[in-house]
Amino acid sequence: MQQSYTEVTTTSWGSRIKNALVGLILWPILVVLAVYLLWTNEGRSVKIETGLQEGKSQVVAVKSDSVDPASESKLVYVTGKVAMTKNPSDDLFGITQPAIRIVRKVEMYQWKEHSKSSKSDNLWGSQTTRTTYTYDTVWSDNSIDSSKFRNQTADKTNPTDWKYQSATYEAEGVTVGAYSVLPEILGKLEGRDTVSLAGKTIPGTSVYGAVPSATTPVMPRSAVSTGALTDAPGSVSDRAVTSEEVAVPDATAPAPDATAPAPEVATPVPEATAPVPVTTPTAIPPSAIPQVRSLYVVGDTLSYSRNPNAPEVGDLKITFYTVDPTDLSVIGKQNNGTLGKYVTKNGTEIGLISEGIVSSDAMFQTAIDNNVFMTWVWRILGVVLMFMGFSLFLSIFSVLAAFLPFLGSVVGFGTGLISLVLTLVLWGSTIAIAWISARPIVAVIILVVVAAGIFGIVSYKKKRGAGVYPPA
C-alpha cells in the first residue's frame, strides 16, 4: 500500500544568493577532495595491476593429492574436490548442511520513503521547490529508520527490535585435496544456493494454514493472568518462541453440544520430533487469524507473523543460503600444507578462489577485470565531486541572473557547461600524471587528448569572440 505527501517551499532571491556565497567557500574543498580521491585511486589501481601481473608470471601449478615440499612459500595454483572436517550449523533452527558456509538472512516488512523534487524559477529571483514523498512497504534486511521520514505519522513507524538476526556460520577444516584453505581466501566465495526446508525438522514452527481459531487465541504464558495480547514473549533474542505459548479457551463461548459431531481441529506439530511438511500459502479467513505472531514454514522460508499471506509491518522472513561447491580452484601461498594470501614485491596481496575447475589465467584475468571495474567506480565518484565543486564556484552567476527566469536559465546552462569542461580537464590530467611511472605511453596519450581539448575550446571561444563585431 503506497501513501504520498507533497511539500512545497519557496526560497527567496536573497536566500539563494546567500547559499551561493557559501558555495564559494565550499567548492575548493570538494575539488581538492576529488583530486586526492582520483590520485590515490589511480595509485591503488596501478599497484594492484602490477602485483597481479607479477603473480601471474610466478604462479606454480601443483597437484592436490599431496603437498609438494618444493613449492613451499611459493604462489601455487590448486584444483580439486572440497571436503570439511565439520559442517556449518545454524543451531537455533536446526539447519546443518554439507557446505562451506550457511547464511541466515532475516528481512523485516517495513515502511520505506522515496522522494522526488522539481524546481522552478520565479520572477524576481525566487525559486519554488515541489517535493513529493511516497511511502510503501518492502522487505529489507536492513533496519529502516522511520524517525527520519519527512512525514511523521503513527501508522508509518518501523519496529526497531528484531526477534531474529541475520547470521553466518562457517565450516571447519575446509580442504582441497591435501591442502587446507584458510578463511581469508574462503571468505571471497560469493555463490549462494537457497536451502530447501522440505523434510527438515525445525524447532518451534507450525505449518502455515494450521493456525489456531479466533475462539482460542494464542497468548504467551506471561500474559495469561492479565489477558494482554502481545507478540510472542521476549525481546530481541535468538530462540524460537512457540514453546512459550498456550491455548486459552474463550470463557464466553457456549457449551459444546454433546450430540453434535466433533469439530475439525488443527493438529499441532510436535517440536523437534518429526519433519515439518512444507505447504503452499493459502488464504485463511480473518476469523482464523491468530492474535500474536508465530513462526511458520512457508515453502523454503520461515515466516514470523500472524498471517504469512498478508504481511504486516514488523513481520520477519527468514531464508537460508549455502555456499557448497563440489570443486574449488585456489591460488595462494603454500605454507605447511595451507593456502593463504601471497604478498608480492610491491605489497599486493593475492588470494584467489573460484567455484569449479577454472584455469589460473582465467582467475587472474577475473581479478584484473575486477580491479578495472573498481577503478572506474572511484573515477566516476571523483568526477561527480569535482563537478559539484566547480558548479558551486560558478553558481553565483546563475543565481544573480535568475532575477529574470529566462536569463537565469541561459546563464545556468553556460556555467554548467564550463563546470563540465573544467572537470574533464582536471580529471584527465590527474589520471595521466598518476600513470606516468607505470604506463608512460598511456599517460602521454591522455595528456595529449586533454591538451587538444583545451586548445579546441580556446580556439572556439576566440572565433566566437572575433565574430561578435563586424569588420570595419
Average confidence score pLDDT of the chain: 81
pLDDT in the model for residue 448: 81
d(CA 90, CA 96): 6
d(CA 82, CA 378): 36
**Location of C-alpha cell 536451502:** 195
Say if 20 falls within a structural domain.
Answer: yes
Distances (CA, A) of 78 to 42, 153, 190, 349, 363: 32, 59, 19, 18, 12
pLDDT in the model for residue 84: 93
Instruction: Quick: pLDDT tens for 204-229.
Output: 777 665 444 333 333 333 332 333 33
Query: Is 259 a residue whose pLDDT tops 80?
Result: no
- Grid cell locating 158: 518501523
pLDDT in the model for residue 456: 72
Query: Is 261 a residue whose pLDDT tops 60?
Result: no
Query: Is 130 a residue whose pLDDT tops 60?
Result: yes
d(CA 341, CA 335): 10
- For residue 305, the SS3 value is strand
Instruction: Quick: pLDDT tens for 427-464.
Output: 888 888 887 766 777 778 877 877 777 677 667 656 65
Say if 182 falls within a structural domain.
Answer: no
Say if 449 falls within a structural domain.
Answer: yes
Cα–chain center distance at 56: 32
Lowest mean pLDDT among 2-6, 14-18, 214-218: 214-218
Cβ 205 vs Cβ 318: under 8 Å: no
Say if 389 falls within a structural domain.
Answer: yes
Instruction: Quick: pLDDT tens for 336-345.
Output: 999 999 999 9
Say if 60 falls within a structural domain.
Answer: no
**Strand boundaries in 214-315, DSSP class E:** 218-220, 245-247, 294-298, 301-305
Query: Is 470 a residue whose pLDDT tops 70?
Result: no
pLDDT in the model for residue 242: 38
Instruction: Quick: pLDDT tens for 238-253.
Output: 333 333 333 333 444 4
pLDDT in the model for residue 323: 92
- Pairwise pLDDT comparison (219 vs 65), residue with the higher score: 65
**Location of C-alpha cell 550457511:** 102
Query: Is 262 a residue whose pLDDT tops 60?
Result: no
- Tell me the sheet residues that pair with 419: none
Q: How many domains does the chain have?
A: 1
Say if 398 falls within a structural domain.
Answer: yes
Q: Which residues contact 285 (CB under 8 A, 6 or more apart)?
A: none
Query: Is 141 a residue whose pLDDT tops 60?
Result: yes
- For residue 335, the SS3 value is strand
Residue 413: pLDDT band by 50, 70, 90 thresholds?
A: confident
- Pairwise pLDDT comparison (398 vs 222), residue with the higher score: 398
Query: Is 382 a residue whose pLDDT tops 70?
Result: yes
Instruction: Print the domain residue range for 412.
Output: 12-49+367-466
Say if 471 falls within a structural domain.
Answer: no
Residue 31: pLDDT band by 50, 70, 90 thresholds?
A: very high
Say if 360 falls within a structural domain.
Answer: no
Q: What's the average model confidence in pLDDT over 370-380?
A: 94
